[in-house]
A = this chain, B = another copy of it.
Amino acid sequence: MLKPKSQKAKQKKSRLFKYALLPVLTFIILLCISHATNAQTAPAASYKVADNTQWVMLTGCLVFFMNSGFAMLESGFCRSANAITVLAKNLIVFAIATLAFWLLGFGLMFGDGSEFIGTNGFLLQGYDNSPAIANDYQGVFDSLSWAAIPLSAKFFFQLTFAGTAATIVSGAVAERIKFAAFMIFSFFLVLSYSITGHWIWGGGFLYTLGFRDFAGSTVVHSVGGWAALMGTVLLRPRLGKYRKFNPDEKRSWRRTSFYGKKIVAVPGHNLSAATLGCFILWLGWYGFNAGSTLTAHPEAIAHIVIATLIAGAMGALGATFWSWQFYEKPSLSFMINGILAGCVSITAACAFVNIPSAAFIGFLGGALVVYAAVILDKCEIDDPVGAIPVHLVCGIWGTLAVGLFSQDPSTYAWAKDFFTQESSLKGGLFFGGGTNLLFAQLVGILLVSEFTVIFSAIAWIGISYFMYLTSSTSGSRFKVFKSLRVLPQEEVIGLDSLFAEGSDIQQLKREYIETQKQKRYWQRKRNLGK
């Protein structure tokens, strides 16, 4: 896609021909697929199906909208000279996740196959056996067949989840990663997400083991968090984030890393956008959690939404309290991340716990996010937007909370209604269910994290090597690992200089002088005309 610029002049004509091939080829391939696609004929839908589908589509829209929340949050927390890059990453990551999940991910995650991976249903080919939709043919999405909605609705809802997982990474690696490297990683992350997702939601071995994650504290958030952590560690901190103390500088305990360096605060450039992003994410979380029922069960969806709301609110209060303690000033950033922490924490347990438990889970999530952020910073792991404390730390806490606070399934009427599969769930440690569930949660957390860490390490390193080979600066003395990262000059100027918009800054200055000249000319002409 990116060619060495020196050969361009000669290739102009051949290039035109070559590039015209892309849509033609796309066309031919897609046309072939089109004709192969089996149309899904189904009996007339009942009202129950119509109701459920509406619910899933509208909550899916809320989850989709979370991407704009992430874009606002992440770009707001970054410096203005990198904002365009962050925004572009958040836009393109959803497009790439869409492509990856349509081509491969949905099949890997929900397609029939082994307990470890799905091997059917790629490119959305094949049926599912939803009750009340169609029962007369062989489906390939057994793990989703319990939900009485069309397959397309299930695909839409799950696709928005995959997009969310992919977008978590972009904040943590912001302000230094190469745009193309991030694009490629997003594609692979969707595959990794789909495989571990299969273990839990696709009828895999973790589900069989008793691991429960209602809406994705582990499936979505901690997976995104682990991938972000690997990227952040491999990329190393932004320039100037951790620096040596000057000899005469006062050393504050709060601002000194474990390696004795000064932690430099890099405040975001647009907290207005970040706050809006937080509200959009909180709103989207109602869809995220309550839509995961895939069924418009009145009691269930109302319970889940208020659990999410109260966990978010308590997360805000917790993070405000603890950050106020620590920094002796209130902090808007921690209010925002506290709300997200509360929401991530309740994601796994939202349908299984009662409201006071949800309040505590959220409150502790808010406390965790503050101290996790402080400790990460002291470890010199540079996460510009706090994605790792929010998604990884609270994702793990939320998954454990299922093992601690779950009610017995008989407590909630809806458990019998639509969680027929959930009959093995006996409640958490604090509500008389013993340690079985907690143990399953621990095993799940470990296995998913191991897989994701290894997979994303391989992916990041592979991409480094690819960038090293294809980069125009590959001949220089830069090492392979540095190829993930933009050049230091670019980082200091701001990554937006690598974008068509950003590159016009110098141009614009010159143009402005021109406009001023034109204006003077024009005014002179007018004065003459009078």
Given contacts A124-B355, A299-B45, contact A68 B23 (CB under 8 A): no
The reply on A159 being an interface residue by CB < 8 A is yes
17 other contacts beyond A153-B302, A156-B309, A264-B511, with CB at 8 A cut-off? A1-B321, A26-B363, A30-B359, A49-B298, A54-B55, A57-B305, A68-B275, A92-B335, A98-B310, A99-B317, A152-B305, A240-B514, A323-B500, A329-B498, A332-B501, A334-B500, A488-B519
Query: Are B500 and A331 interface neighbours, CB within 8 A?
Result: yes
Q: Which residues in B have their C-beta under 8 angstroms from that of A39?
A: 354, 407, 411-412
Smallest CB-CB separation from A518: which chain B residue?
B240
For A51, give its contact among B47, B87, B279, B363 (CB under 8 Å).
B47
Smallest CB-CB separation from A339: which chain B residue?
B91
Query: Are B522 and A430 interface neighbours, CB within 8 A?
Result: no
Q: List 21 A-B contacts (CB under 8 A).
A: A1-B324, A30-B359, A31-B356, A41-B413, A42-B299, A45-B298, A53-B296, A54-B54, A57-B305, A91-B336, A98-B309, A98-B310, A152-B306, A155-B306, A240-B511, A240-B519, A243-B518, A270-B272, A323-B500, A330-B500, A488-B519
Query: Are B92 and A27 interface neighbours, CB within 8 A?
Result: no
Q: Which residues in B have their C-beta under 8 angstroms from that of A44?
A: 413, 417
A473 to chain B, nearest CB (A): 13
**Interface segment out of the listed A59-67, A191-199, A458-466:** A59-67
Query: Are B41 and A280 interface neighbours, CB within 8 A?
Result: no
The reply on A208 being an interface residue by CB < 8 A is no
Given contacts A271-B501, A301-B57, A357-B30, contact A91 B332 (CB under 8 A): yes
Which 9 A-B pairs rank lowest in CB-CB distance, beginning with the nearest?
A68-B279, A152-B302, A53-B298, A331-B500, A240-B515, A98-B313, A153-B302, A95-B313, A95-B316
